[in-house]
Amino acid sequence: MTKIITYGTFDYFHYGHFMLLKRAAALGSSLIVGLSSDEFNLQKNKQSLLDFDKRKEVLESLNFIDSIFPENSWEQKVEDIKNHNIDILVMGSDWNMKFDYLKKYCDVVYLERTPKISTSLIKEIL
């Protein structure tokens, strides 16, 4: 039973988000997602277009996500990994090496970002 975790804002959900989550889920038997709260987004200097509940509603429609919980701080990952007995933390390659400090608690895998699509690009078009 390989347990996967990932984190993100997933604002204006798009194919890049989908492919990250789908590939992450394929690495194990369960996937849980730390969804950035609206307040934490401000700490990330991200003003999400959709609030937490709407972003959560979109993720809940994906049958390969087993549970979704709020991500309220950078520091919570260690506790999340321990409390959920996580085997692998998966993030997109734009985070490459940034979470290597967590390798003492679980494997850390960075998956290639899906090119040419991002929430900021979508915001520019809107």
Which residues are near ligand C2G by CB under 6 A? 7-10, 16-17, 20, 36, 44, 46, 71, 91-92, 94-95, 113-114, 117-118
Decide whether 2 or 44 has the Cβ nearer to ligand C2G: 44
Report the greatest alpha carbon distance in the chain.
42
Decide whether 8 or 25 has the Cβ nearer to ligand C2G: 8
* DSSP conformation class of 1: -
Alpha carbon distance 20, 94 (integer Å) = 12
State the DSSP H helix or E strand holding residue 124, giving kind and residue range, or none if neither. Answer: helix 119-125
Q: How far is the CB of 7 from ligand C2G (least distance, A)?
A: 4
Catalytic-role residue among 3, 44, 54, 116: 44
Kindly tell me the burial class for residue 33, based on how many C-beta atoms sit within 10 Å of its own C-beta (0-12, 13-18, 19 or more). Answer: buried
Report the residue number whose CB is nearest to ligand C2G: 92
44 is catalytic: yes
Positions marked catalytic: 44, 46
